[in-house]
Amino acid sequence: MTEEKILFYKKLGLKLTPQRLAILEFLEGNTSHPSAEDIYRALKKNFPSISFATVYNTLELLVRKGFIKELNIESSRKRFDPLTHPHHHFFCKRCRKIVDVNQKIDIPIPEELKDYDVEEFQVVFYGLCPDCKS
């Protein structure tokens, strides 16, 4: 991680421990939408002393601070997304892969929501990815 990036996180009031840095580094540019378990398993190799609670609490903190987004696409476990701008997803029902869909999707605001102020929406496509399809 660059000096500049570290300064950026510090400015936003994030206390950076080596473990937090490792989590941020792991997530940067990561498009696999990992779960807390995935991140824990990956970091355990370089940080044998890291605990699952540290990983989980750091992820919760990063979500609260708006650095990452929490996805509730898979019912059994939360997945995390470093891409915080509005975008859509595809979820493979077999291998449980989540893929970003960045193409703009226009949907009409439902009649039932006409009195509401809709700020954003997220589309999730469900099905089989090319690997699972064949």
Residues that bind Zn ion (CB under 5 A): 81, 83, 92, 94-95, 97, 100, 129, 132
**CA–CA distance, 20 with 56 (Å, rounded to integer):** 11
Q: At closest approach, how far in Å is the CB of 74 from Zn ion?
A: 13
Q: At closest approach, how far in Å is the CB of 36 from Zn ion?
A: 16
3-state secondary structure at position 72: coil
**CA–CA distance, 90 with 73 (Å, rounded to integer):** 9
Q: At closest approach, how far in Å is the CB of 56 from Zn ion?
A: 20
Dihedral sign for Cα atoms in the order 62, 2, 25, 49? negative
Q: For residues 6 and 73, which CB has a smaller minimum distance to Zn ion in the complex?
A: 73
Q: For residues 10 and 93, which CB has a smaller minimum distance to Zn ion in the complex?
A: 93
